[in-house]
Amino acid sequence: MSQPVPASEFRRGWPVVLAAACGAGLGIAGLLTYSAGIFAKDLEIAIGLSRTSLGAAFFLATVALALALPLAGWLVDRFGPRWPAFAGSLALSGGFVLLGTVVHSVASYMSVMAGIGLLAACSSPVAYTRAVNAVFDRSRGLALGLTQVGIGISAAIVPPVLAIVVAERGWQAGYLTLAIIAAFGIVPALSLPDRRGNRLAMRATSGTATGQMRSPLILQLLACFGMMALSFAGLLPHFVPMLREAGMDARAAGALAGLIGASVIVSRVIVGWLADRIPAPLIAATCCGLCALGCIALATGGSALAWVGAIALGTAMGAEADLIGYLTARYFGMANYGRLYAVQYASFMLMAGTGPLWVGALADQTGGYDAALWVTVAGMAISILLFLRLPTLRPGEAAAAA
């Protein structure tokens, strides 16, 4: 049986891409990650939540999510993406309701945040990327890139809306608004395929999930994406303080932070399109190189070259999110995709959550961010070497990793 050409894949599969993009944007990655800071000042006044406690609560939610993701992946493999995503959307909406109604102390805030991470894991990209991978083959990279764009659009639209609600109605109303937004995720979740996908997408590997989990290749991927995330992701929350320290005013620094978000959206589409044409490990290595150059520009040129650093960091973030799902499907096929992707996404989340800690600690020790930038350059160099050691597959080709 011949493989479908890209045009016919999109004619058949565009509803799945649209549903996946909307669902990912309305899931935990699109809503919890980018909204936490909106409530910081009001929660400090209301319950005494310090910036340290806010960071600790978000890290706790990240750890809880990472622990729950392998189970979420198993559920998606076992039952298909539709019903786990539906349950994840309900859990996320319910978690936001609790944040707006039962939080009266720092301890209760942290408990609810951890609960959201545990119970809303199925609203993460694990279900949505599986649905897309099951439908697309020749255009898989572009389809995954368009799916991830939903998270970027959510990050651009939801925080400004929440800021208005919080300013006019208070932080409780803000969380209830988030609950309503998250509840709309039920619609795209129910639009996903209800089973594991077509025979074309299920081809590609033999082997059990246990065997694939123990394969050297999965360890290589964990090392690649873990090192990449640990190296650069810590700079993202420190980007504006870094520019302010270099003498830039708050408005200009905020505008450049917005450039990171725009670069994430653009890079997800471009990287996805390239992955259908160029071996993905080469794309990943190139993006790591661009990120290293951006950090060198920040370290040597300061605020004058901050736009270069913003684009480089956004490109790295967008590329990593795309390529985790793409390479998992290419190397291991779809039979155990949910579990394999979930383990890698969990590692990515943990490393990305740990990054700000080492960047902040090093900045405090050295009195600035230059040392952290050069450490990131070294980490990107290691990441390049790791990616170049991955098996090079031509686009559309699948490996047999057992």
Q: Is the dihedral of CA 90, 92, 96, 99 positive or negative?
A: positive
User: Helix 51-79 and helix 125-135: axis angle, to 10°?
Assistant: 40
Distance CA 86, CA 103 (A): 25
Query: What is the C-alpha separation between 269 and 249, in angstroms, rounded?
Result: 31
Positive or negative: CA dihedral 325, 360, 219, 346: negative
Q: What is the pLDDT along the chain (402 residues), one digit of tens a residue?
A: 445 556 678 888 999 999 999 999 999 998 987 787 788 888 989 999 887 787 788 889 989 999 999 999 999 999 999 999 999 999 999 999 999 999 999 999 999 999 999 999 999 999 999 999 999 988 999 999 999 999 888 888 888 888 899 989 999 999 999 999 999 999 999 999 876 544 444 444 445 666 777 788 999 999 999 999 999 988 888 888 888 888 888 778 878 888 888 888 999 999 999 999 999 999 999 999 999 999 999 999 888 899 999 999 999 988 988 899 999 998 988 888 999 999 999 999 899 888 888 988 898 889 889 999 999 999 999 999 999 999 986 655 655 444
CA angle 43, 44, 47 (to 5 degrees): 70
Angle CA 159–163–166, to nearest 5: 130
- Position 199 scores a pLDDT of 46
Q: What DSSP line would sit under 269-304, residue for residue? A: HHHHHHHTTS-HHHHHHHHHHHHHHHHHHHHHHGGG
Residue 33 confidence (pLDDT) = 77
Q: Which CATH superfamily is domain 1-202 in?
A: MFS general substrate transporter like domains (1.20.1250.20)
Give the type of residue at 159.
P
- DSSP states of 198-258: -HHHH-S--S-HHHHHTSHHHHHHHHHHHHHHHHHGGGTTTHHHHHHHTT--HHHHHHHHH
Model pLDDT, residue 49: 86
Q: Where in the chain is the domain with CATH 1.20.1250.20?
A: 1-202, 205-402
Q: What's the confidence (pLDDT) of residue 144?
A: 94
102 secondary structure, DSSP code: T
Pair 175, 39: CB distance under 8 Å: yes
Range 44-66 burial, b when 16+ CB lie within 10 A, else e: eebbebeeebbbebbbbbbbbbb
Q: Is the separation of the CB atoms in 234 and 62 below 8 Å?
A: no
Token digits of residue 54: 């806010």
Burial of 168 (0-12, 13-18, 19+ CB in 10 A): exposed
**What is the distance between the alpha carbons of residues 239 and 212, in angstroms, rounded to a whole number?**
38
The helix/strand/coil state of 214 is coil
Instruction: Enter the CATH code of domain 205-402.
Output: 1.20.1250.20
Report the distance separating Cα 369 and Cα 391, nearest Å.
36
Can you tell me the distance from the alpha carbon of 76 to that of 65, in angstroms, rounded to the nearest whole number? 15
One-letter amino acid of 317 = M
Q: Give CA separation, 129 vs 53, 243, 321, in Å.
A: 32, 35, 11
